[in-house]
């Protein structure tokens, strides 16, 4: 990390000027997006500056409990976001998203960071925070996608689920096809991304490493590991969230009561 150009506050203000182009387009086409653009611009600035200061501090102090606290905070925000992205809301979603994201990302961080990249100590924030963040973010997307799919399967496939119940099936057997479709929906997103990686766009982490002065050949190796880890964490996240949540659509008598 030697030859990185320092970004001054004036460079940031200059970049914000780029947003003016978007604002002009919005004004000419009367898209009424000016306010949203302003809010997004300010939020990105404030959020990222705050995160930058906190991370600087965590990297400086360099203690395992601060790193853990940051990871836990990310998991909490990810679970909340997965819940907010649902088309149907019902009680019990948040803790189950939390558990699914914890299980899938803990497993993936342990194998991916602990065993494969193997920094010492394991919790070294330079590795665990960015890679953990990517794993958690992807687990969130997979969980949110698969549960949205599960809800729509329960709606459009209600007839088949109830036909199975009518034949004496338990809620678990009756939802097997819906479960498979939902886990698949959560997995497909990362598989598609992995197939085109490097061809269409350079992933964020690789870009960052290259700008940070790492040889592209080295950055690519990291990216390969990350993509493989993400395929696992996405799969686990989709699977566990579907397993934990599919029972919530039913009442105690195995009657399908959600979505209403």
Partner 1 sequence: MHHSKILELSGVGVRKRRSREDEYSWILRGLDLTVFAGERLALIGDSGSGKTTLLRVLADLEPIREGEILFNNTPVRDLNPSDYRRKVGLVQQTPALFDVDVEYNLQFAPKLENKEFSREELISLLAKVGLGEKLLGAKVETLSVGQAMRVAIARTLSMAPSVLLMDEPTSALDPLSSHKILELVKNLSREMAMTAVLVLHDMEFAKNGADRVALLHDGRIAACTGSKEFFSNPPTDLAKRFAEGLSRGGFDA
94 binds partner 1 (CB under 8 A): no
Buried b (16+ CB within 10 A) or exposed e, 229-244: bbbbbbbbbbbbbbeb
Shortest spacing between CB 43 and partner 1, in angstroms:
29
Candidates 52-60, 120-128, 162-170, 216-224 — which segment interacts with partner 1 by CB under 8 A? 162-170
169 binds partner 1 (CB under 8 A): yes
Task: Candidates 168, 199, 200, 217: give the one binding partner 1 (CB under 8 A).
Answer: 168
89 binds partner 1 (CB under 8 A): yes
> How many whole angstroms separate alpha carbon 26 and alpha carbon 35?
10
**CB neighbour list of residue 84: distance below 8 Å, 6 or more residues apart:** none
Tokens of 256: 């399908």
Shortest spacing between CB 181 and partner 1, in angstroms:
10
Exposed, middle or buried by CB within 10 Å (0-12, 13-18, 19+), for 226?
Answer: buried
Shortest spacing between CB 88 and partner 1, in angstroms:
8
Q: What are the counts of helices (DSSP H) followed by strands (DSSP E) for the chain?
A: 10, 0
Residue closer to partner 1, measured from CB, 156 or 207:
156
Task: Candidates 87, 192, 207, 251: give the one binding partner 1 (CB under 8 A).
Answer: 251
162 binds partner 1 (CB under 8 A): yes
Which among 127, 137, 177 is positioned nearest to 153, based on CA atoms?
A: 177
Residues that bind partner 1 (CB under 8 A): 89-90, 157, 159-160, 162-170, 173, 177, 251, 253-257, 259-260
């Amino acid at each position: 990390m030697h030859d990185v150009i320092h970004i001054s506050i004036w460079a940031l203000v200059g970049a914000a000027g780029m947003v003016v182009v978007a604002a002009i387009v919005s004004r000419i086409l009367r898209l009424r997006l000016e306010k949203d653009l302003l809010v997004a611009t300010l939020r990105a600035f404030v959020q990222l500056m705050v995160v930058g200061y906190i991370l600087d501090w965590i990297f400086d102090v360099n203690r395992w409990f601060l790193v853990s606290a940051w990871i836990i905070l990310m998991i909490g925000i990810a679970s909340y976001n997965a819940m907010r992205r649902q088309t149907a809301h019902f009680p019990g979603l948040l803790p189950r998203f939390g558990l699914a994201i914890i299980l899938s990302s803990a497993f993936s961080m342990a194998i991916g960071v602990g065993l494969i990249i193997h920094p010492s100590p394991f919790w070294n924030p330079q590795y665990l925070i960015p890679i953990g963040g990517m794993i958690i973010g992807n687990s969130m997307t997979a969980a949110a996608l698969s549960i949205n799919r599960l809800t729509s399967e329960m709606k459009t496939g209600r007839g088949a689920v109830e036909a199975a119940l009518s034949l004496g099936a338990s809620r678990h057997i009756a939802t097997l096809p819906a479960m498979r479709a939902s886990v698949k929906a959560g997995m497909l997103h990362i598989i598609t991304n992995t197939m085109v990686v490097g061809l269409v766009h350079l992933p964020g982490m690789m870009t960052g490493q290259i700008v940070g002065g790492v040889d592209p050949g080295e950055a690519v190796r990291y990216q390969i590991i990350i993509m493989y880890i993400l395929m696992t964490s996405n799969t686990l996240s989709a699977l566990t969230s579907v397993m934990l949540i599919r029972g919530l659509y039913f009442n105690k008598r195995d009657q399908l009561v959600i979505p209403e």
